[in-house]
Amino acid sequence: MSTRWFGQPVRRNEDERFLTGKGRYVDDLQPAATLHAAVLRSAVAHGRITHLDVEAARQLEGVLAVWTWQDLGDVWRPSPMVVPNEALIHPRTQYPLARDKVNYVGEAVAFVVATDRYIAEDACDLIEVEYEILPAVIDLENAVSGDTLVHEDVPNNVAATLTQQVGDIERAIAEADHVFTERLYIERSAAQPMETRAIVAQWDSAERVLTMWDTTQAPLSIRNGLAVLLGLPENSVRVVAPDVGGGFGVKIMMFYPEEVLVPLAAMRLGQPVKWAEDRREHLIASNHERGQMHEASIAVRSDGTILGVKDIFLHDAGAYTPYGIVVPIVTATQLPGPYRIRNYFSESRTVYTNKVPVTPYRGAGRPHGCYVMERLIDRVARELEMDRAEIRFKNMIGPDEFPWDVGLTFQDGAPTRYDSGNYPAGLQLALDRIDYAGFRDLQERRRREGRYVGLGMASYVEGTGIGPYEGAHVRVDGTAQRVVVATCVGTQGQGHETSFAQIVADELGVRPDQVEITTGDSRSMNWGSGTYASRSAVVTGNAIGAASHAVREKAVALAAELFEANPADIELRDERIFVAGSPDSGLPIWDIAVVANPIRYAYGTQAARAIALLKQRQGPPLPEGTEPGLEARKYFSPEQATFASGNHAVIVEVDPETGIVTILRYVAVHDCGNVINPMIVEGQVHGGVAQGIGGSFYERLVYDADGQPLSTTFMDYLIPTAMEVPNIEVDHLETPSPLNPLGIKGAGEAGVIPVPALMAQALEDALGPWGVRVTEMPLNPGQIRALVRDAETRATAAEDTR
Ligand code: MCN
């Protein structure tokens, strides 16, 4: 019996390496004579550099270089604007080292290279730097109205105003029976991968080749950018992302200053240079996300039909916009979610503040959009006294309404057009799993015991798998009896070595553990862009599918010739290639790879029978028009995003005295089209939900009024642990995407998206007796307790006036 690997919960090929401590991370690399770098960072949020003296640092024994901006020559250029947009009229990107002004605490001011990290850090302490401190722009609303400017030439600190609309929102509002408005806030948080950022660079002056090992999610983009910046041919720069301990978006950036400074130092000093970020640096100087303030209105009929949504919001960009306005675009275009919204108006202002720059972090703008939409629906349900599930079903796009054009332009410039899905079925499944029908009884019973439980539900749609393209090279190595696959996406824990191998295994009739996937090495593929936007399964997966298929066709053609059979009758299964009906008479696929390489079989191999068969033929060793080697390279370029979706439901218990929330049950119904590996997808959903729980209750990046970050260690910035993350029950719904041959949609970010929305609703439900209203996230126990107290005070005041 042959197995179809696609769809199976195959154990991960990479796990043995990780679980036995054999992973190879950047900080594990220690080429001979490696030097170590450290960065002096701004201690003030906004200031002019009035004095900068590095002489004492240069004199310290063991120091090889201390650079300020003046030492960088031509390389002192702003980092590229990765995703330009017409609406972004005031783009600003960061220079590798600040010149006369700093714009956030953590901005790089000077760079030191020494024989060890201790000396490099000591040298940083010897650098004299003085600032004229300027008022800091911290609060989002003050930023747009105040006189204080982050960049003097950007009026009101507004980098971009983006309007997206469909239908006629003013008419919808005028015709509505009710219009409800909410002010909603989501605070900053950040990815916090287990492995912080790290770089090792080595310059081979004889070969004139620069090799950089980097925790980046986009090795090819970094390679291309570095080649331009350093004036080297592209193939003289090799960027490798080896094992990477999580990225979640924060490692997609191009360029962080160190990605320029470390390779430059390696070239100039002629010795390898290493820089590995510590956690404090990561918290204060690697990019953040979230941070939006919305004022949103929903227009409805009395029966709960949504007529339109209007959303005006401020997006905190931090000090620079290296990733353009991708995050607010995603928020705006994904806010309508699975609902039939014919009239929609969104206006975002992207606002500079004196904080760490904002670039996409898992979910990339979607948790905020989902939060706003779901909060609005909850408000309608409450005001109209409707069941919250019923109002959702009433307004959901039906399974027969695809393709559904939301009428907006997505982050890739293509239409936000949902390709397939079944949103009501997903919600129903989540509600059945969590026993929504029986919940009111449970809630009543618990309340009688003095316990407060609440249920939440939330739904989202997620654009995944955007272009422009990715490629793959698939080669059967007959001697090693392995299939070797090169891609150029990076991997940070997503299990690509297994899920991609499953696609290959099906095409070539081998096992996934016989397929070796290389990711993240710019030498193995020349074109591609990276791992982000939950795109690798869709884009690389389909490129791998196409390349494996091409290899299969080549093997079939060769075998047909050897067996004097019709190609249509050739099958591949269990590592063998044979004429249908007579598997025993076939050959191992590995032998076909050997005969596909006439040079190799000239040296003698074990594929004797295949060679003998081949020699019986007339003519050249390979059929005419056949290239040697059982290998192929293919690319896949999707025309637009494919839209995944999901529905989560939760039951929480809240202690009104302490504000502590316990998650009693968590159900995630997820639709990412055809699932390659359900176990991996479940892991992806689990990880996303855990980060969503962090963003709902624990993770908050706090700045004081002067722009000093207060969350600079894991004592202050709390990450949920296994104690806080409940058992997550995952169910898959599979509505294949019609936009790619494998019918896949992305899965990597999904889990995180609906969590704050869901938790807000569950909190309100649990604290129903107090009439608590949730308008911001995250909420810690003190804030939840304060919400209860405020509600009590309001109730007492109302009593008194009566
Ligand atoms: N998959 C599948 N079937 C599908 C869709 C996906 O089996 N229908 C599998 C894929 O083959 C892959 C994994 O699920 O093994 C995730 O695939 P995909 O959704 O394509 O996401 P990417 O591989 O492009 O990864 C990026 C995505 C993003 S954007 C963030 S952020 C994120 C995430 O993945 N960061 C992660 N998941 C992460 N997981 C870990 N462990 N670490 C991170 O940094």
Which atom of ligand 1 has the smallest separation from the CA of 464? 19
CA distance 748 to 732: 14
- Examine the pLDDT at 794 and tell me if it is beyond 80: yes
pLDDT of residue 561: 85
Tell me the mean pLDDT in the region 280-302: 97
pLDDT of residue 626: 75
Which atom of ligand 1 has the smallest separation from the CA of 681? 14
Percent of the chain exceeding pLDDT 70 equals: 98
CA distance 355 to 185: 17
Instruction: Report whether 176 contacts 300 (CB < 8 A).
Output: yes
Mean pLDDT of the chain: 95
CA distance 567 to 555: 10
The CA 750 to ligand 1 mean position distance, Å, reads: 9
The CA 482 to ligand 1 mean position distance, Å, reads: 25
CA distance 221 to 253: 10
Q: What is the edge-to-edge ordering of all strands in the sheet holding 776-777?
A: 158-166, 343-352, 306-318, 289-300, 178-189, 776-777
Question: What is the token pair recorded at 711?
Answer: 């969350």
pLDDT band at 797 (very low <50, low <70, confident <90, very high): confident
The CA 380 to ligand 1 mean position distance, Å, reads: 35
CA distance 234 to 223: 7
Four-point Cα dihedral 707, 708, 714, 716, nearest 10 = -90
Indicate the burial class of 371 (C-beta count within 10 angstroms; 0-12, 13-18, 19 or more). Answer: buried
- Examine the pLDDT at 1 and tell me if it is beyond 60: no
What is the DSSP secondary structure assignment for residue 351, as one 8-state letter? E
Task: Report the nearest-CA residue for atom 34 of ligand 1.
Answer: 748
Task: Report the nearest-CA residue for atom 33 of ligand 1.
Answer: 748
CA distance 226 to 634: 26
Which atom of ligand 1 has the smallest separation from the CA of 674? 8
pLDDT of residue 606: 61
Which atom of ligand 1 has the smallest separation from the CA of 498? 15
Residue range 619-672, pLDDT digits in tens: 666 767 778 889 999 999 999 999 999 999 999 999 999 999 999 999 999 999
Residue range 491-519, pLDDT digits in tens: 999 999 999 999 999 999 999 999 999 99
- Which mutation among 189, 494, 498, 515 tests ligand 1's pocket best, with the greatest number of atoms within 8 A of CB? 494
| Cis, peptide link before residue 468, omega less than 30° from 0 | yes
pLDDT band at 603 (very low <50, low <70, confident <90, very high): low
The CA 536 to ligand 1 mean position distance, Å, reads: 7
The CA 508 to ligand 1 mean position distance, Å, reads: 24
CA distance 666 to 245: 26
Which atom of ligand 1 has the smallest separation from the CA of 672? 8
The CA 672 to ligand 1 mean position distance, Å, reads: 11
The CA 746 to ligand 1 mean position distance, Å, reads: 7
Q: Are strands 108-114 and 63-67 parallel, antiparallel or unpaired?
A: antiparallel
Task: Report the nearest-CA residue for atom 30 of ligand 1.
Answer: 248
The CA 368 to ligand 1 mean position distance, Å, reads: 20
Region for 53 from its dihedrals, namely left if φ exceeds 0, alpha if ψ lies in -120 to 50, beta otherwise = beta
Task: Report the nearest-CA residue for atom 37 of ligand 1.
Answer: 748
Task: Report the nearest-CA residue for atom 32 of ligand 1.
Answer: 248
Tell me the mean pLDDT in the region 207-215: 97
The CA 99 to ligand 1 mean position distance, Å, reads: 39
The CA 25 to ligand 1 mean position distance, Å, reads: 19
Indicate the burial class of 72 (C-beta count within 10 angstroms; 0-12, 13-18, 19 or more). Answer: middle
Ligand 1: residues with CB < 6 A are 193, 246-249, 362, 492-496, 499, 531-538, 541, 672-677, 680-681, 684, 687, 744-749
The CA 293 to ligand 1 mean position distance, Å, reads: 29
Tell me the mean pLDDT in the region 390-395: 98
Tell me the mean pLDDT in the region 306-335: 97
Which atom of ligand 1 has the smallest separation from the CA of 363? 31
Tell me the mean pLDDT in the region 770-791: 96
pLDDT greater at residue 616 or residue 26: 26
pLDDT of residue 599: 65
- Which mutation among 10, 534, 732, 752 tests ligand 1's pocket best, with the greatest number of atoms within 8 A of CB? 534
The CA 43 to ligand 1 mean position distance, Å, reads: 36
- Examine the pLDDT at 602 and tell me if it is beyond 60: no
For 605-632, b/e burial (b = at least 16 CB within 10 A) is bebeebbebbeeeeeebbeeeeeebbbb
Tell me the mean pLDDT in the region 389-415: 96
The CA 684 to ligand 1 mean position distance, Å, reads: 6
Tell me the mean pLDDT in the region 757-776: 97
CA distance 300 to 386: 12
Instruction: Report whether 171 contacts 344 (CB < 8 A).
Output: no
- The closest alpha carbon to 589, from 484, 663, 482, belongs to 482
pLDDT of residue 594: 80
Which atom of ligand 1 has the smallest separation from the CA of 744? 8
pLDDT of residue 77: 96
pLDDT of residue 204: 97
Residue range 99-131, pLDDT digits in tens: 999 999 999 999 999 999 999 999 999 999 999
- Which mutation among 18, 500, 684, 745 tests ligand 1's pocket best, with the greatest number of atoms within 8 A of CB? 684
Indicate the burial class of 50 (C-beta count within 10 angstroms; 0-12, 13-18, 19 or more). Answer: exposed
